[in-house]
Structure 1
């Protein structure tokens, strides 16, 4: 009898257990209407979950091998594309005076940069007598931006009539940074940006904040990605620094430079009343030059005050031969023009009570002679201009009429056969 009771107990227990399992359903509890929670999508799910794809409701609590791993890790390269290291591009020939890139910033240092005061341990002074260079390229989303001209170059004033330059500065928009080589000192990108007056950090390049920001250095034909502090980056002599913001470059630019001819080994002493070169033109201004009336904005007066008094030198070569600049240009007799010559040394005297823009074009107008890219005072041919500021020499590619006449600047105009060396000058005391 006890055996029968045991059998009945087991049968009843099995029936109770089956009822509690709901016939193998999703494990939901019954509602008052007899439906289960499995018929209603879970909170936040879309309506499509009411009709799962084949087998979706049969996914076990423990995912099958590899199922969840594929969802968590996208295919190789989908979210993290491979980055190809850039290579060096073929060298681009560049001549001083040419602009490289799109204009972005104003010329010169900003109001917070070098305006004559000491900056980063560097002083603004008369140009050195020896220079080397480095090159800087800044790319924003694949576009080259032109480095401004005259960063670290301070124009003359009545109190500082020679003007000044910092040991690192620019004179054009070619990207070339000129570096004083007289002391064998090295200079950093941070010093240059401080003189420029623009920010330089891993997140801001001269006001540009596109990311990522990557820097490269090319020296001796070897390309290296620079990962250190940008302000500490030493400007490579005859090398290039390239900063890339945003879109990466596949090739990093390199350049070849058409440098000016070397200096002549023996300087020419400029003595008041002397002659430099062979006679070619008649003395004085021509019939179309200054005869007393104002020319451009250059006035002629007698007894004019000389509060601003500087000298520039002009050399003219025809097929390699030096031609003497005539005496008495701008000296008609009854008055003196603010710019004039006294002798045939090539010295242009600027003597005036007023500081204004004195240019080569205005001097040629006082002389009464043409000055174009193919005509210098009646001599025709291809004209090449060089500017030498106490050793800081470069070819000038702009409008020659716009060349400023500044203290002890040497301007060489070459027509026809190129000169093999550029003349240099020693300013005797009486020529000052």
Structure 2
């Protein structure tokens, strides 16, 4: 008997359940790591007191190198042929456009979601899972589609799956833009290029034509953004799953 494949609605529901479970695990982990963070701070002060500024710089450089090598070798990085671009060149920590990416866990003080759809000459391109999450990943494929449930670092802007949902999770309600997200991804975005694809870009925001630079679009709650490179594709609305 052929097993029935889960519908898109089922996949969204399962993804939401995973996010809820992840939130609980992260809250518990945050409590456990507070003491570790304090101890780490004491060690850092000791290094500075000993005149070890060079050691700190060298440690940060080493951490970036390790993260870059992990991203290059980690088999869990999304390599789907339907992607606009992979995450292989994305930022691996630090701060990009004010978007901090050195958090070992997600910051849920300000937590909203926006959605991005991209068409290139009428063909839909997906946004990879793990944008703004630094490998190695904890990857869950039990629902039939990949979901990143953990990574070594989180940026305030990131994706957990290929649904196009952008997670905005930061310590305050600072307004971020679509350009900030693409900068974390390290992909170009303008009125004539989206990622590696060039051509005239038609932009929709919540179903209405947006005539400005798409990089300036503010990522507000439930914002539905569509970018058409080349051929204009009619706006396709996104149905938000419950719980977002």
Q: Answer whether TM exceeds 0.5 for this pair.
A: yes
1:108-151, CA deviations, whole angstroms, 9 ceiling, x for partnerless residues?
Answer: xxxxxxxxxxxxxxxxxxxxxxxxxxxxxxxxxxxxxxxxxxxx
In 2, the alpha carbon distance for the partners of 1:283 and 1:273 equals: 21
1:401 counterpart = 2:202: no
Q: Displacement of 1:282 after TM fit?
A: 5.0
Q: Displacement of 1:381 after TM fit?
A: 0.5
Q: Contact between 1:319 and 1:416, CA under 8 Å: does it hold in 2?
A: yes
1:302 counterpart = 2:104: yes
Q: How many residues are matched?
A: 156
TM-score by length of 2: 0.59
1:405-427, CA deviations, whole angstroms, 9 ceiling, x for partnerless residues?
Answer: 111110000011111x3211221
Q: Contact between 1:315 and 1:322, CA under 8 Å: does it hold in 2?
A: yes
Which one of 334, 356, 360 corresponds to residue 152 of structure 2? Answer: 334
Q: Contact between 2:85 and 2:127, CA under 8 Å: does it hold in 1?
A: no
Which one of 221, 226, 232 corresponds to residue 418 of structure 1? Answer: 232
Q: Contact between 2:107 and 2:156, CA under 8 Å: does it hold in 1?
A: no
Which residue number corresponds to residue 92 of structure 2?
291
Which residue number corresponds to residue 351 of structure 1?
169
SS at match of 1:429: coil
SS at match of 1:361: helix
Q: Contact between 2:204 and 2:227, CA under 8 Å: does it hold in 1?
A: yes
Q: Contact between 1:381 and 1:416, CA under 8 Å: does it hold in 2?
A: yes
1:27-84, CA deviations, whole angstroms, 9 ceiling, x for partnerless residues?
Answer: xxxxxxxxxxxxxxxxxxxxxxxxxxxxxxxxxxxxxxxxxxxxxxxxxxxxxxxxxx
Alignment of 1:237-256 (within 5 A): none
1:336-394, CA deviations, whole angstroms, 9 ceiling, x for partnerless residues?
Answer: 00010000000000111111121000000000100011110010000010000xxxx31
TM-score by length of 1: 0.34
1:193-245, CA deviations, whole angstroms, 9 ceiling, x for partnerless residues?
Answer: xxxxxxxxxxxxxxxxxxxxxxxxxxxxxxxxxxxxxxxxxxxxxxxxxxxxx
Q: Contact between 2:117 and 2:227, CA under 8 Å: does it hold in 1?
A: yes
1:134-186, CA deviations, whole angstroms, 9 ceiling, x for partnerless residues?
Answer: xxxxxxxxxxxxxxxxxxxxxxxxxxxxxxxxxxxxxxxxxxxxxxxxxxxxx
Which residue number corresponds to residue 113 of structure 2?
311
Which residue number corresponds to residue 323 of structure 1?
125
Change (3 A) 1:365 1:324: same
Structure 2 runs not aligned, ≥5 long: 1-7, 17-79, 135-150
Q: Displacement of 1:306 after TM fit?
A: 0.4
Q: Contact between 1:304 and 1:353, CA under 8 Å: does it hold in 2?
A: no
1:243-284, CA deviations, whole angstroms, 9 ceiling, x for partnerless residues?
Answer: xxxxxxxxxxxxxxxxxxxxxxxxx8581659xx97124543
SS at match of 2:215: helix
Which structure features the higher share of helix residues? 2
Change (3 A) 1:312 1:411: same
Q: Contact between 1:340 and 1:349, CA under 8 Å: does it hold in 2?
A: yes
SS at match of 1:427: coil
Bigger CA radius of gyration: 1
The RMSD of aligned alpha carbons is: 2.3
Q: Contact between 1:317 and 1:413, CA under 8 Å: does it hold in 2?
A: yes
SS at match of 1:291: coil
Question: Which segments of structure 1 move beyond 6 Å, counting only runs of 4 or more?
Answer: none
Alignment of 1:74-153 (within 5 A): none
